[in-house]
Amino acid sequence: MGLLTAIVLVPFLAALVIMALPRRREPWIKPVALAATGINLGLSLFLVLDYLRAIGPAGAPADAGAGLRLAHVERVPWLGRLGIEYYLGVDGISVLMIFLTAVVIFCGVFASWGHTYRVKEFFVFLLLLVTGVFGVFAAQDLFLFFLFYELAVLPMYLLIGLWGTGPKEYAAMKLTLMLMGGSALIVVGILVLYFQAGAKTFSISGIAQAGIPPATQAWLFPVMFFGFGTLGGLWPFHTWSPDGHASAPTAVSMLHAGVLMKLGGFGCLKLIYLMPHGALMWGTFFMALTTVNIFYGALVATQKTDLKYITAYSSVSHCGLVLFGLGALNQTAFQGAVVQMFAHGLMTALFFALIGMIYGRTHTRFITEMGGLLKVMPYLGVAYMIGGFAGLGLPGLAGFVAEIQVFVGAFSVNTPGHRIMTLLAAASVVTSAVYLLRALTRMLYGPMVNPDHAGLTDASFMEKVPLAILVFLLAFAGIYPGWMIRLIEYSLGPVMVQLQQATALPPI
């Protein structure tokens, strides 16, 4: 059994163990979940270091070709005569995403330590969900990829519906149906890719190398991009996100906004690799849509007073930046987009964890009903501030590394359209500052709005751990982003080769 299989199986087995625990062993549930996610955190950290070691100081040779640069490959024939394989493997980007997933779920388990309502089912579903997420990032066979992708939907409905707050049934149903609608586009796309490539394989790099006819790419690329874009929060299909994330319980919001939305961007990057012609035709169109994303998300966030809605709309804006970078179709912007996935994952996880903890104390999520909280909960307050600064792209934190690269990359494309869109997108940083600082000042400074809040306590030890991890990583990735850039740069090679080959051919 390979390392990647282990990473996928550990949470799954932990879910089975928890399911089998008798009622009197209920106190063991959380430690089991923590142990499983801890093991995975260790394994994924090893994965990062191992991949960095494999790249070496030299980086990729200049003519490495368009095959994906995979490590820890496991490949065995699996189902039927169509050529479905059990094919796992990781490149630098997947490694980074797996690491992000492991961090977020580890912190998510800490953040759910206080759960008391139907604990067993909660952790079973949470671990099943994360199994799917790990699987998506490791899968190299499109069928397997899609299987894991949908596996993440199975527990999501119940996680929000059962343990959520507010209009949770509506939000859960909306989220599930919109995401499944997106995946309906994806399944059609996968089958078209398979039969058009005619290579009798679902392997991503196999299909890319067999090539898809440009005429097919011209219509299939936008269809599939909308499919993945739905999960990535692409405007106008983002509406599931604010409702879903606002209603979901803390750990689920962390995981969903922090990691699952990244599956959208991750899938879109795979599409660019698979269909470079389509990407060249439609890149600008999707950049225009995501400009709306970035601007609209930030503007709505300035009008909201519910902390979860503010964060959810800022997620729409920030995830728009991921897709914006992908639409620019050059190395710098791609790098920025992937770093943004990582940075935003940490940042949103931090926000949602904090909101859960603050709500647990104040029993309100409205910033108008809070004030002066920094006096009573300095630890939580400072963590919120750091998250906010990362959100508005302050240098020294991970968000800056992402945003600067996306903007530089997008601006470097020498057309008026790209320049204007980049200016508009960059202007949204100002809007971000408005809503982030507004929330910070209202909530943390000023006089105490509610006198009952004076007696509140600061973070407990179990709450401090996840916050510390997330804040540390945000700062570490901001101050020393070199390791990430190396992982991403190395793994973007094949995508760039595909794009160059497509540019060299005359357009259809």
Partner 1 sequence: MATIAIELGLVLLAMVVFAVGLVFPHKTSGTAEARITLIGMLGLLALSATGWLPVRPAFGGSYLAGPVAVVFKQLFLLAGVLTALLSWPNPDRGALIPRNRTGEYLGLMLLSVTGMCFLVSARELVLLYVGLELVTVPLILLVALNRHELRSVEAGMKYVMFSAMSSGLLLYGLSLVYGMTGTTVLSAVAAKITRTPLTLLALVLVMCGVGFKISAAPFHLWTPDTYEGAPAPVAAFLSVASKAAGFALFYKVIAEAFGQVQGAWLGLVAILAALTMTFGNLAALHQTQMKRFLAFSSIAQAGYLMIGLTHGGELGLASVLYYLLVYLVSNMAAFAVVILIAAATGKEDMREYAGLSETNPALAAVMMLAMFSLAGIPPLAGFLGKFYLFAAAAEKGLYWLVFVGAINATISLYYYLTVIKWMYIAKPLNPAEPLGWIGISWAGGAVLAMTAAAMALIGILPQVIHWTEIAAAAGF
Point out which residues bind partner 1 (CB under 8 A).
77-82, 143, 146-148, 150-151, 153-154, 157-158, 161-162, 169, 173, 176-177, 180-181, 183-185, 187-188, 191-192, 194-195
Rounded to 5 degrees, what are φ and ψ at 480?
Answer: -125, 75
Task: Pick between residue 121 and residue 306 the one whose CB is nearest to partner 1.
Answer: 121
Q: Is-contact 265 323, C-beta < 8 A?
A: yes
Question: Beta strand 84-90 with 71-79: parallel, antiparallel or unpaired?
Answer: antiparallel
- Residue closer to partner 1 by CB (options 177, 420) is 177
Q: Which of 9, 7, 72 is nearest to 40 (CA)?
A: 7
Q: Helices 416-444 and 378-391: crossing angle, nearest 10°? A: 170
| CB nearer partner 1, residue 77 or residue 360 | 77
In angstroms, give the least distance from the CB of 124 to partner 1. Answer: 11
Q: Which is nearer to partner 1, 99 or 194 (CB)?
A: 194
Between 192 and 456, CB nearer to partner 1: 192
Helix, strand, coil share of the chain (percent; to 5): 75, 5, 20
Residues 6+ apart with CB under 8 A from 297: 233, 235, 238, 313, 314, 315, 316, 317, 318, 320
Least Å distance, CB 157 to partner 1, is 6
Q: Is the dihedral of CA 155, 161, 167, 173 positive or negative?
A: positive
Helices then strands, counting H and E runs in the chain, come out as 21, 2
Give the DSSP H/E element, type plus range, for residue 245: helix 240-247
Report, in Å, the least distance between residue 308 CB and partner 1. Answer: 20
CB closer to partner 1 out of 195 and 285: 195
d(CA 168, CA 215): 43
Write out the DSSP string of 99-131. Answer: HHHHHHHHHHHHHTTT--SSHHHHHHHHHHHHH
d(CA 10, CA 389): 35
Nearer to partner 1, 34 or 171 (CB): 171
**Amino acid letter, 37:** T
Residue 21 DSSP label: S
Q: CB-wise, 71 or 147, nearer to partner 1?
A: 147
**Minimum Å distance from CB 82 to partner 1?**
6
For the four alpha carbons of 115, 119, 122 and 127, in that order, the dihedral sign comes to positive
- Could you tell me the smallest distance in angstroms from the CB atom of residue 86 to partner 1? 9
Distance CA 25, CA 29 (A): 8
Nearer to partner 1, 188 or 385 (CB): 188
Taking Cα atoms as reference points, which of 288, 297, 350 lies closest to residue 323? 288
213 cis-preceded (ω within 30 degrees of 0): no
Q: Output 59 or 77, the one with its CB closest to partner 1.
A: 77
Single-letter residue type at 427 = A
